[in-house]
Amino acid sequence: MAPPFSFRVLHTDGAARRGEMTTAHGVVQTPAFMPVGTRGAVKAVTPRDLREVGAEIILGNTYHLWLRPGDGLIARLGGLHRFIGWDGPILTDSGGFQAFSLGEKRVITEDGIRFRSHLDGSEHLLTPEGAAEIQAQLGPDIAMVLDECLAQPAPLSAVKESTERSARWARRCRDRFLQLRDLCAGEWRLDSETSESRTRVTNPGQAQFGIIQGGTVPELRTLSVERTLAIGFEAYAIGGLSVGEPADTMYSVVAHTAPQLPAGSPRYLMGVGTPIDIVEAVSRGIDLFDCVMPTRNARNGQLFTSEGRLTIKNARYADDGGPLDPACACYTCRTHSRAYLRHLFVSGEIGAAVLNTIHNLRFYLDTMARVRQAIVFGTLETLRQSLQAMFSRPLSDS
C-alpha cells in the first residue's frame, strides 16, 4: 500500500507553484516554511503557540533525538508526534547535516559517518540503513535520506566523489526504508512492531525524500538528479546549500536543479533561509523550506518586521510604547510594546525569548501566506521586489 503522501499544484506563477501536500498527519499548504524543533521542541514555544502562529508542519533533528532521549524511547512512547504533543505533519532530517557540523569530531567512510557525540564524546556510526531505522522509530511523516554535506568551496574531485557517495547512500537508505515499509504493510496503525526486526515502525504512513547534492557544479547537480530520480522517492530536496556560498550562487544552483525535479512532487530547499532567499527560491520552483533563523534570531533579539529588521536592545526602543510591528497580529504585537520587549531582553527574562519567537515565527508564516496568495494572483514578482526593498537595506535601527 502506498503511503498517504501526495502533492498537487493548484496554481502557478512562472516557475512558482501554489500547492497542497498531503501527509499522514494532515495537509500542508505550499510554499511552506517549517519551524525547526531540533530536540523535539521549537525553542521557547509550545505546540499551541505553533498552531496560533500558523505553523502547519515542523521539523525535528534525527541526530539530536537519536542521541537524546533516543529513538527507541520515543518509539516505545508511541512516536515523535505523541512524544512532543504535536499532531500535525513532521519532517525529520537524516542527521547528515548535524554530523557535517561536528567538524573534527567526524570521519566519513563508505559505510557511513563515524562521529563522537557532542553530549558525552561517545562514538557512534550513522549508516544510511541506520538513518532509515531511526526515522522509522521516530515516525515523522517525512523522513530524509542520509547524505553527505560537503563544506564549500571544495575541489571538483571531492565534490564528485561526495555526490556519488550520497547517491549510493540514498540507494541503501531507500532499500531499508522500503523493507521496513513492506514489513508493516497493511498495518495502518501506530506502534506496529515488525516481526523480522527490532525496529518499531511508529508511522506506517511515512514518506521518504531523496536529497540532491553536487555542490555548486551544475553538471554534478544534474548527475545527482539523475541518480536520485533513478532510485525514486516520494519527493526530492536540494541539499548542500546555505553553507556559506554567496546568495546568487545558491539561486543559480536552485534555478538549475529545480526544473529537473518532477513537477508532481514538492521540492524542498534545505536550511533556507532569509525572507528574500525564500521568495527567490519560490520563484525558481521551490515548495518547502526550513531554517533556524526566525527562532535563533528571536532569542538574540533580532526581529523581523514589516518595516525591516529590528534589534530590540537598541536604546531607541527604551521609551517606545508602540507595538513591535504595527502590521502584525501575533500575540506579542497585540499585547506588548517595544519598550517592554526591550526591557525583557535587556533583563535576560525567559519571556523575551518566548515573545520574540512567537513574533518572528508569525512573521515568517505570514510571509509564506503572502507568497501563496501572490502566486494565486500572479503578483509574486511584486512581492519579491517589496521584500527585497524591505530586507536588502541596512537594519532600520543601525
Q: Which is nearer to its own copies, 11 or 299 (CB)?
A: 299
* C-alpha dihedral sign at 194, 196, 200, 202: negative
Q: Which is nearer to its own copies, 242 or 357 (CB)?
A: 357
Residue type, 90: I
Q: Which is nearer to its own copies, 45 or 143 (CB)?
A: 45
Judged by CB under 8 A, which stretch of 91-99, 217-225, 338-346, 363-371 contacts its own copies?
338-346
196-221 burial, b at 16+ Cβ within 10 Å, e below that, comes to eeebbbbbbbbbbbbbbbbbbbeebb
Binder to its own copies among 252, 343, 373, 391 (CB under 8 A)? 343
Per CB under 8 A, 78 contacts its own copies: yes
Binder to its own copies among 229, 243, 247, 346 (CB under 8 A)? 346
DSSP 337: B
Per CB under 8 A, 218 contacts its own copies: no
Q: Which three cell numbers stand for residue 244?
A: 556559506
Q: How far apart are CA 255 and CA 263, in angstroms?
A: 14
Judged by CB under 8 A, which stretch of 11-19, 79-87, 197-205, 285-293 contacts its own copies?
79-87
SS3 assignment for 111-153: CCEEEECCCCCCEEEECHHHHHHHHHHHCCCEEECCCCCCCCC
Query: Is 290 assigned a catalytic role?
Result: yes
Q: How far apart are CA 106 and CA 110, in angstroms?
A: 13
Residues 186 and 2 sit within 8 Å (Cβ to Cβ) = no
DSSP 397: T
Per CB under 8 A, 2 contacts its own copies: no
Minimal distance, residue 203 CB to its own copies, in Å: 17
Minimal distance, residue 78 CB to its own copies, in Å: 7
Per CB under 8 A, 132 contacts its own copies: no
Which alpha helices (H) appear in 184-310, and where do they start and end?
A: 218-231, 247-257, 275-282, 293-299
Which residues in 349-388 contact its own copies (CB under 8 A)?
Answer: 349-351, 353-355
Minimal distance, residue 355 CB to its own copies, in Å: 7
Helix (H) or strand (E) holding 101: helix 96-101
Q: Which is nearer to its own copies, 102 or 346 (CB)?
A: 346
Query: Is 93 assigned a catalytic role?
Result: yes
Out of 13, 49, 71, 290, pick the active-site residue: 290
Per CB under 8 A, 198 contacts its own copies: no
Out of 93, 277, 287, 325, pick the active-site residue: 93
Q: Which three cell numbers stand for residue 361?
A: 515565527
Length in residues, the chain = 398
What does the binding site for its own copies look like in residue numbers (CB under 8 A)?
39-41, 43-48, 68-69, 73, 76-78, 82-85, 299, 318-319, 321, 331, 335-337, 339-340, 342-344, 346-347, 349-351, 353-355
| Residues acting as catalytic residues | 93, 290
